[in-house]
Amino acid sequence: MSIVAEFARTLHESVPIQTGRTLAPIEYPSRTVRLSGIRVVVFDMYGTLMNYWRPEFGSAQAKQDVLLSAFRRTIAKFGMEEFLVRMNPGEPAEKTLSDLYHGLIALKHEQAAGKKIEFPEIKIESVWEAIVLMLKRRGYDPARMALGAQGDFVKCVAYCYNFFSFARGLYPGVYGALARLQAGNLRLGIVSNAQFYTLVDLSLFLRDQSKGECDDYIRVFDPNLMFFSFEYGVAKPHPLLFRKLFDALYEYHVLPSQTLFVGNDLVTDLRPAQEAGMKTAFFTGDDRSAFVHDLSGKVVPDLSFSSWDDLASRVTFYSSEGEKETKGME
């Protein structure tokens, strides 16, 4: 196991996942109640498979307090306070770190805009690498944390801040739905806005929800059908990620019309998937993450579903029940 994966596992196991928030679904129309002849199902991550929303995010001030607390806990975990105070005397260390973090992200987005990159995505570890470099100039020594080379250390810091910032876990029933779809002869993929730690968390969450039956995301998802924003420098709805998916589908001799895209956002997930010729499914089980924007009635998914327990029974590889019976006799 890598240093980063081991760090993540240890931290993950030290803080139980909070499951207290009650999910409230929304109502949204769909074209049909069942899809047949599907060969590949592709998923968005945050707000679709993963539940990231914390109750505090409903208030701007409460959200700011949560994020400052995440910076404070990260500072304590890695012994950074003395060096942040040296950098900006008179300010709380977490305020200084927050300003650095958000300032560097804004700068990187400005640089991308200068290159006329639409929907830019950054590698979050590059932000933390710059912060650690500034701390080292003031005497901070990452080596004393014994977390490997600087690249590993920076990723551990990035993981830690994300860990304390957001809610954590899969929506109820996700693993069961994925397992049923996979058992139904469907290939599963992901196209999502994400960072390196998304995949680390995905394996941890699948292990937890499957009660140890699945300990790695590649047991469920086809690595050839996984495309993430941090890998390509652009985020959905940029068409590059969908073009990469199409190239992979072509290698499998699968048409867009035989592909189902499952997401929680009409703008970044469903509309571009429909424009690319794919079938779509809208996860409506969480009113905090089901984003309609101003597209109500303009974008109608093929399926809408509010429970993951319901999805697998409404999507089939077979084009008809007769085909399914024939295949079962072979």
Count of the separate structural domains present in the chain? 2
pLDDT for 76: 97
* Domain final residue pick, 100, 135, 165: 165
Q: For residue 118, is it within any domain?
A: yes
Ramachandran area for residue 293 (φ above 0: left; ψ -120 to 50: alpha; else beta): left
* pLDDT 10s digits, 225-283: 999 999 999 999 999 999 999 999 999 999 999 999 999 999 999 999 999 999 999 99
Residue 134 buriedness (CB in 10 A; 0-12 / 13-18 / 19+)? middle
Ramachandran area for residue 62 (φ above 0: left; ψ -120 to 50: alpha; else beta): alpha
Q: Are 239 and 196 in contact (CB under 8 A)?
A: no
Number of other residues whose CB lies within 10 A of the CB of residue 66: 17
- CA dihedral 65→67→69→75, nearest 10 degrees, is -150
- As a whole number of angstroms, the distance between CA 56 and CA 62 comes to 5
309 contact partners, CB below 8 Å, separation of at least 6: 172, 173, 176, 177
3-state SS assignment for residue 143: helix
Name the helix (H) or strand (E) containing 40: strand 40-43
3-state SS, one letter per residue, for 159-206: HHHHHHHCCCCECCCHHHHHHHHHHCCCEEEEEECCCHHHHHHHHHHH
43 and 153 assigned to the same domain:
no
Residue span of the structural domain in which 78 resides:
56-165
* pLDDT 10s digits, 82-137: 999 999 999 999 999 999 999 999 999 999 999 999 999 999 999 999 999 999 99
pLDDT over threshold 70, residue 19:
no
pLDDT for 324: 56
pLDDT over threshold 60, residue 328:
no
pLDDT for 15: 81
Across the chain, mean pLDDT equals: 94
Q: For residue 3, is it within any domain?
A: no
* pLDDT 10s digits, 167-181: 999 999 999 999 999
76 and 193 assigned to the same domain:
no
Q: For residue 226, is it within any domain?
A: yes
The CATH number of whichever domain residue 200 belongs to comes to 3.40.50.1000
3-state SS assignment for residue 227: strand
